[in-house]
Amino acid sequence: MPIIIVSESEQLSLALGDSTLTYRRVPAVKRAELVQKHTTFGLTDEPSWQLAMVAYALLGWDNVQTLDGVAVPFEARLVGTLPPPVILQLMAKIQESTPAPENIRKNSPAPSSAGSPSTA
C-alpha cells in the first residue's frame, strides 16, 4: 500500500461502537506547530498537545450522546468533552501514514485538486 499525502480536505471515518467520528490526518508541519505551541522549557504538555491535535483533526461526529441519551450535535468546542480513551484512539488514527481504505469516506465532498488521481 502506498503512502498517501495528507490533504486538509480529506475526510476519514472512525467507527467506535454505534458512533462515527469524521476526521482528517494531521500533516507533519501542523503537528510540529502544535507540539511547539504546547512545549515549555523543553517539556511537552502531552494532554494539551493531544487535545489540540484532535481539535484540529476532528471534523464531525454521528450518534454522540449525553449520559441521558440526548443527541449531541458536533461543535468544535465540545472536543474536550470526549472521553480520554476516544481521544487516544483518534490520536492513533490521525497520525497514520496511510489510512485504511474502509476509513475513507466515499461520499464526502470531492477535494478541489485538479489533476490528482481518483481514490474511488
pLDDT at 107 over 50: no
Side-chain half-sphere CA neighbours of 56 within 13 A = 22
Reported as a pLDDT band with limits 50, 70 and 90, residue 21 is very high
**Backbone dihedral angles phi then psi of residue 116, each to the nearest 5 degrees:** -90, 150
Sign for the CA dihedral angle at 109, 110, 113, 114 comes to negative
Q: What's the confidence (pLDDT) of residue 106? A: 57
Please say whether the beta carbons of 51 and 90 come within 8 A: no
Q: How many CA atoms lie within 13 A of 49 on its CB side?
A: 15
Q: Where are the beta strands (DSSP E) in the chain?
A: 12-16, 19-23, 39-40, 43-44, 58-62
Q: What is the residue-averaged pLDDT of the chain?
A: 83
Q: What is the pLDDT of residues 39-73, one digit of tens each?
A: 999 998 888 888 999 999 999 999 999 999 999 99
Closest by Cα among 34, 27, 30, 32 to 6? 27
Report the pLDDT value the prediction gives residue 9, as an integer from 0 to 100.
86
| CA dist., res. 5 & res. 105, Å (int) | 16
